[in-house]
Amino acid sequence: MPRVMKWIAAVSLLLTPVMLALYARFEMGLFLSMGITCGTIAYHFVMRLLVGWCYDRCMGNHADVQHPWFRQRSFEPKLYDLLRVQAWKNHMPTYEPALFDPALHTWDEIAQAMCQSELVHETIVLLSFLPMAASIWLGDLPVFLITSVLAACFDLSFVLIQRYNRPTVIRLAQRQKRRAGAAR
């Protein structure tokens, strides 16, 4: 997954100025549309990679899983049932599956990585709306709004997955700590 995301980011970033240069040279609307499309794709992929990188550098997958921000709210289980999170959560891609592998990490480490992942995706949800500012210069606000909403919904699904799974992982971490304490 990291290789695919980086490849898409690089290709779309390289194609953006090429398409805009072709538009400047030939004044064909197709080149402008392609330039805007490539630029929007580049933004969404580069932004995601940078946000993840920044959180990784700042937090290093260490978070206070008991912080109120990460606690499940009383309405959430009903929301997860309504959205059928259980049915689709295992079909979503994972950027770095090793971070959530209990063969490689303790359940507490996994819960902390889940908290960081939630923060990454929440930040991305907010930043997904930034391209709408381009509509000031380029027009077509509905197009920028639709792509921003779709991108935000995509990342919101990962927030839901982290928040849905974390209570179970925290219970497993507590059980793992009790067993380790009893073994001493």
Distance of alpha carbon 94 from alpha carbon 121, whole angstroms: 12
Query: Which pTM was predicted?
Result: 0.91
Q: Which of 28, 59, 90 is the last residue of a domain?
A: 59
Residue (of 114, 120, 72) closest to 97 by Cα position: 114
On whether both 107 and 177 belong to a single domain, the answer is yes
Is residue 61 within 8 Å of 101, Cβ to Cβ?
no
Q: How many domains does the chain have?
A: 2
Is residue 99 within 8 Å of 110, Cβ to Cβ?
yes
Rounded (to 5) percent helix, strand, coil in the chain: 80, 0, 20
Across all residues in the chain, what is the average pLDDT?
94
Q: Kindly report, residue by residue over 65-77, the tens digit of the pLDDT.
A: 999 999 999 999 9
Q: Kindly report, residue by residue over 124-181, the tens digit of the pLDDT.
A: 999 999 999 988 888 888 888 999 999 999 999 999 999 999 999 999 999 999 888 8
Distance of alpha carbon 37 from alpha carbon 30, whole angstroms: 10
On whether both 51 and 100 belong to a single domain, the answer is no
